[in-house]
Every structure is written in structure tokens, then in C-alpha cells.
Amino acid sequence: MIRFLLRRVAWSLLVVWVVATSVFVVYFAVPHDVARLVAGRQASEQTIRIVRTRLGLDRPVYVQYLSFLGRLSRGDLGESFLTQERVTTIVARDFPVTASLAAGSAVLWLVMGVGAGVIAARRRGSRTDRVITGLALGFYSMPPFLLGQLLLFFLFFRLYMAGIEFFPPGSYVAFSDSPLQWARFLVLPWLSIALVTAATYSRLTRSAMLDVLEEDYVRTARAKGLTEGRITYRHVLRSSLTPVVSQFGIDLGGLLGGAIVTEVVFGLPGLGREAVQAITTQDLPIVMGVTILSAVLVVAANLGVDLVHALLDPRVRLE
């Protein structure tokens, strides 16, 4: 187990290094003048030289790269070109919003997706199965921004016009300020992500459970007189969760890096919207910081998935 963990951690660090190197090459080593971009189009050559010296762009590329890795190892993501604010400060301010969005959405899509998949598998070929499959296909085909706009129209605008002001249009309230208002402002963004994502988990769970139901040990369990509920939830569901866990690690890790569309639609001040604004203004350190953070979160999520696999399926060999 220890060897497996060390091997996975080593591979994870390698992936993060590759992503960080790629980010450095794209933004600093390719042939374009970052100093002119920071100083502005109307800046004089003297101003551009000062900016280039301040950013260390007058040094050889390999020296810049080693300096970049050194700062990154210390958790230093640099400073914003526009506001001179440290990127770590910006990330620390915006990440709780994105984490709140991701956590609530993940709980909803797991409950809805896995629950619907279990029901559909147990009632294979029935009307319930066909309804669940049809709804899953419909939500799976729907772009998140469209679902978000529909939720805003029907659950905010139409209700607001009718005198019901339960669902707010956007913004964010911190959990520490008011847990109830925190959930109230996030319920529509949660639904816009969860309904689309739950469709994938419903199909994954149904497909995996149907495969496991054909296994010999399931027929043996039935022959021993075990109830269908015990067979489904104690044996079949546990073995069927492996693809669900794999998908969950990818989805959660990516969502923690910033749900760009949802945050923009609902006006949430998270990492996704911050990245969009940074791309628009060419604020490269923020874009780099969010990109590297996203890679770290995805790698960490996948590392957790590998460990959960071993707990769910004893056939997984770690040595």
C-alpha cells in the first residue's frame, strides 16, 4: 500500500511539473513581448525596458524558468499585472465561492444520478426505466449555460413577477455570514450543474449495475435467499461504483478549478469568472495561477479516486 501511494504521488508530481512547464512555455517562452503587453500599446521603449527588467524578462529563458519553479515550489504564483495584487491572495478570496459551488453540486448530482441509475437498473425495461433514461439523455444534451438561463427565467424572473422572491438572481453570501442565505444564493447554480452532470452518473450507474447483475455471485446470492434490496445495495451497487468514482474525481477536480460558464451566468465571484476576466485583460499571472491550481486539484482528485477504488473493489491489486 505504501509503495502504491508513493508511486502515485510521484506520478502526480510529474504531471503537475509538466503542466507548470507547459504554462511557462506558452506564456513566457514563446516569441511574444510580455513586457509590451503589460506596459500597453502606447508605452515608450524606456517604459518597456523598465517593465522587462522588473519582471525579469531580460534574463535568459532557463534562468526565468528556474526562478518560476522556485517561486511555484514556495506557493508564490506572482502578482497581477494590473492591480499588483498577489495571485495567491486572489485565489484565496475566490476559491471559497468555487468550492461552495462544487461541493453543493457534487452532493446533488451524486444523490440524483446514482439514485436514478439504481432505480432504472432495478426496473430494467419498465416505464420508469424509459422515463429516467429519456430525462438523462435530455439533460445530458443540454448546455449548462442554457439550463442556467432557463432556471433564472422560470425560478427567478417568473416567480419574481408573481410576487415570490425566494430565488435571488445572482451574487454570493459567505457561509460564515449566513448559512441559510449561502444556500439560497447557490441553489440555482447548484441545480444548473447537478442536473446536467447527474445525467452522466445515472447512465454510468445503470450500465454498471446491469453488468454486475449478470455475475455468478449475484445468482448465488439470490439462490441463498437474500433479499433484492440487500443484493442491490450490499453487493451490486458497491461493485458498480468504480466507474462512478472515476468520473467523480475528474468532474470534481475540474469543477474546483472554476466553473466558468455557471459562475459567469449567475455572477458568482469565483475562480472561473476571475479567469475569464484575466484572459480578457491579458493578466497572465492570474491565468497561470488558476491553470496550475486546476491541474493540482484534478491530480489530487484522481489520486483520491485510486485509493477509493481499492476500498470499493477488493479485486484491485495495489502491489
What pLDDT does 107 receive? Answer: 92
What pLDDT does 110 receive? Answer: 92
The full DSSP string for 41-65 is TT--HHHHHHHHHHHTTTS-HHHHH
Instruction: Return the closest-CA partner of residue 187 out of 219, 151, 157.
Output: 151
What pLDDT does 29 receive? Answer: 58
The full DSSP string for 142-199 is S-HHHHHHHHIIIIIIHHHHTT---S-SS----TTT-HHHHHHHHHHHHHHHHHHHHH
Instruction: Return the closest-CA partner of residue 263 out of 94, 139, 107.
Output: 94
Instruction: Return the closest-CA partner of residue 165 out of 181, 149, 177.
Output: 181
Cβ(188)–Cβ(105) below 8 Å: no
Q: What is the distance between the alpha carbons of residues 239 and 233, in angstroms, rounded to a whole number?
A: 10
Question: How far apart are the two ends of the chain, measured CA to CA in Å?
Answer: 7
SS3 270: coil
What pLDDT does 228 receive? Answer: 75
Element (H, E) at 33: none
pTM: 0.81
The full DSSP string for 3-29 is HHHHHHHHHHHHHHHHHHHHHHIIIII
Cβ(157)–Cβ(239) below 8 Å: no
What pLDDT does 202 receive? Answer: 92
SS3 190: helix
> What domains does the chain contain, in order, with CATH numbers?
2-73 (no CATH), 87-312 (1.10.3720.10)
Residues whose CB is less than 8 angstroms from the CB of residue 141 and which lie 6 or more positions away in sequence, other chains included: none
Per-residue pLDDT for the chain (319 aa), expressed as one digit of tens each? 667 677 778 888 888 889 888 888 877 655 566 676 666 666 777 777 787 787 777 778 788 888 888 888 888 888 887 788 889 999 899 999 999 999 999 999 999 999 999 999 888 888 998 999 899 888 888 888 888 888 888 888 787 777 777 777 667 888 888 898 898 889 999 999 999 999 999 999 998 888 887 777 878 887 887 777 788 777 788 778 878 888 888 888 778 766 788 888 888 888 888 888 888 877 888 888 888 888 888 888 888 877 777 666 655 554 4
- For residue 61 the three cell numbers come to 529563458
Instruction: Return the closest-CA partner of residue 151 out of 135, 139, 134.
Output: 139
Handedness of CA 135, 248, 269, 286 (dihedral sign): negative
Residues whose CB is less than 8 angstroms from the CB of residue 217 and which lie 6 or more positions away in sequence, other chains included: 235
SS3 92: helix
What pLDDT does 316 receive? Answer: 55
Cβ(155)–Cβ(192) below 8 Å: no
The pair phi, psi for residue 171, each rounded to 5°, is 80, -170
- For residue 65 the three cell numbers come to 524558468
Handedness of CA 80, 86, 87, 90 (dihedral sign): negative
